[in-house]
Structure 1
């Protein structure tokens, strides 16, 4: 007898599905039987990820700094599938800069995508998730629980995601909606290079993971996707308000 797929019949909305953690997560949930609604900004990349999914997903090209696009994402998901079971807030950006040199426009964009969009999407999704007793899983970062220099806005935005997770879990818990997040360490994606890091600097950064992560390496998108898959599944039915470190032990490290 064939095993039942864990997300068969469930509608899963995922942002940032064009690449990296979002792409790996979309493919994993597709293999688990989910009805996917995938969002991203790059049409070609989103189509390429959709082609790798077992079941054909619905796709939406939009900008998470645009409130109208965020409203349309939720409206389109419900119009297409009639319900929503899981919201995966994966989209995020990294802007380098410190208290002395970070431009306010870069700060605003980081907070808009990494924090405001998480709140806005979750707020609009909440009534639908209450109906299905669904869940929210967001991508935070090790920087949400540890401080690092020269990525000030990024650190602030992810700390906000962690606290949002705890607060929303308390508010939605009585309505049987679970809210959790994952806190990746260094994961091999395009995040750092899209944030302005050169190829040479990125290679050095990856090499440094041998010393900055207890497991002695950087992580892979699929490892974060697996953690999100668990938190969204019935196997995590008594877990809410959790920030789950998926960072090879980096959060436990300290200089000596």
Structure 2
């Protein structure tokens, strides 16, 4: 039980990567604050985590006061707070031609400012426990795909924040801040997104090797397994680190011109 008795907030945990992380945390002995927008999905995850090990909060993470409400729910329900997983994110296609300032602000509010607000609200309690923050970013943080401009900008900003706070908060508060950058992950929403784009029901079973050398893309459970290390005490004093989790080197890997344009990463 690598997370025995720890109390962890996992945002965006009613589906996908967040759901996998929350379930793995409970399996490792933690108590979890589940969060998301989909109440029905959230209740299903709550049932899967046996109820007494988790509590559910449904709210748009970018709403004023949402961060404080999540933190207070954790402390009121479980008596403390050891860690925060900033996983909730808004993934939306956009390019320089389709991105206006209003749209960019919306993406930044959810993907960058909301994680900052949650870290700030949680900091007094994380300091008491000498706890940690794990931000879930994206390999798109380095430059991103042509049709993911706003999203990529938001994840790049998140990565800079992780490195900045990973230094300052560890020195000043003994709170570690690290980040995982997943590559392309087969979540429920990713399956649906590609179907909405006109692909076949089983599109993920036949992918170009340039995107999936292993013959498949990543599973949420594989990201969750990696998350446990950063949330557990075994990661020791390591802070301010960003780890890419993908099956090939992302930077500098240029697909051939005839490769499918199917890809959209986490």
Aligned partner (choices 170, 173, 192) of residue 173 of structure 1 = 170
Whose helix fraction is larger, Structure 1's or Structure 2's? 1
1:197 offset after TM fit, Å? Answer: 6.5
Cα distance in 1 for partners of 2:189, 2:68 equals 26
Aligned partner (choices 26, 30, 47) of residue 30 of structure 1 = 26
Aligned partner (choices 92, 99, 107) of residue 104 of structure 2 = 107
Contact 2:204 2:216 survives alignment (8 Å): no
Cα distance in 2 for partners of 1:90, 1:214 equals 26
Partner residue, 1:120: 117
Partner residue, 2:227: 228
Aligned partner (choices 122, 129, 149) of residue 152 of structure 1 = 149
Q: Give yes or no for the alignment of 1:67 onto 2:64.
A: yes
Cα distance in 2 for partners of 1:84, 1:128 equals 6
Q: Give yes or no for the alignment of 1:243 onto 2:242.
A: yes
Task: Please give the per-residue CA displacement for 1:203-251, whole angstroms capped at 9, x wherever unaligned.
Answer: 6577446312454531000011111111111121132111111111242
Length-normalised TM-score, structure 2 = 0.87
Aligned partner (choices 6, 9, 23) of residue 5 of structure 2 = 9
Q: CA RMSD in A?
A: 2.1
Aligned partner (choices 25, 43, 46) of residue 42 of structure 2 = 46
**In structure 1, the residue corresponding to 2:167 is in which secondary structure?**
helix
**In structure 2, the residue corresponding to 1:64 is in which secondary structure?**
coil
Partner residue, 1:184: 182
Contact 1:11 1:34 survives alignment (8 Å): yes
Query: Which 5+ residue runs of structure 2 have no aligned equivalent?
Result: 257-266
Cα distance in 2 for partners of 1:70, 1:120 equals 6
Cα distance in 2 for partners of 1:242, 1:213 equals 25
- Report the CA distance shift for 1:238/1:92 in structure 2 as closer, same or farther (over 3 A): same
Cα distance in 2 for partners of 1:46, 1:245 equals 28
Contact 2:162 2:241 survives alignment (8 Å): yes
Contact 1:209 1:217 survives alignment (8 Å): no
Moved more, 51-60 or 223-232: 51-60
Task: Please give the per-residue CA displacement for 1:56-110, whole angstroms capped at 9, x wherever unaligned.
Answer: 3111111112022222111221122221101011111111010111244432221
Give the total of aligned pairs.
252
Query: Which 5+ residue runs of structure 1 have no aligned equivalent?
Result: none
Contact 1:28 1:225 survives alignment (8 Å): yes
Length-normalised TM-score, structure 1 = 0.90
Contact 1:94 1:191 survives alignment (8 Å): no
- Report the CA distance shift for 1:86/1:206 in structure 2 as closer, same or farther (over 3 A): farther
Cα distance in 2 for partners of 1:93, 1:71 equals 20
